[in-house]
Amino acid sequence: MKVLKKLALAGHSRDVGFGEVLEIDDKKIYRYMKPIYVERACLDCHGEREKILPAIRQFLERRYPHDEAYDYKEGYLRGGISITISLEAL
Ligand code: HEC
């Protein structure tokens, strides 16, 4: 969550993730997070509910009746993919 906040800062380049070396339980690790931004293509399923193509909307409502992931806007930061590797073996 802290890293996501850093990535959301206005000055942070959208093309760059955030990496850091940390020590957890006396073990050195490197972790890196790549931000996920909402692109045009995401709006086919996550845009304004009324504007989603009926075929897609029906499918989503049938398969994911509790889905609330609508009204996303292009450019929104929607999360991140993070990897962690141990530096012990290096
Ligand atoms: C073909 C339709 C489709 C497209 C295109 C799509 N998604 Fe999704 N997405 C879904 C569905 C369906 C779910 C809900 C899955 C579930 O409830 O298990 C979901 C879930 C999510 C969630 C989790 C929502 C939550 O709060 O639990 C996020 C974040 C997300 N999508 C982001 C994106 C982003 C960013 C893109 C574009 C890069 C994208 N999606 C493109 C169908 C789509």
- Confidence band, pLDDT 50/70/90 cuts, at residue 78: very high
Is the pLDDT at 10 greater than 80? The verdict is no
Q: pTM, whole model, 2 decimals? A: 0.83
Please tell me the predicted confidence (pLDDT) of residue 61. 94
Stretch 32-39: mean pLDDT, rounded? 94
Residue 7: how many CB atoms within 10 A of its CB? 21
In this structure, which residue's CA is closest to atom 39 in ligand 1? 42
Q: Is the CB of 69 under 6 A from ligand 1?
A: yes
Average confidence (pLDDT) over 49-65: 95
The sign of the torsion formed by the CA atoms of 43, 44, 48, 49 equals: negative
The predicted pLDDT at position 12 comes to 79
If you take atom 41 of ligand 1, which residue's CA is the nearest one? Answer: 42
Closest CA to 61 of 78, 53, 72: 53
pLDDT at 44: 97
- 41 CB under 6 A from ligand 1? yes
Ligand 1: does its nearest atom lie under 6 Å from the Cβ of 59?
Answer: no
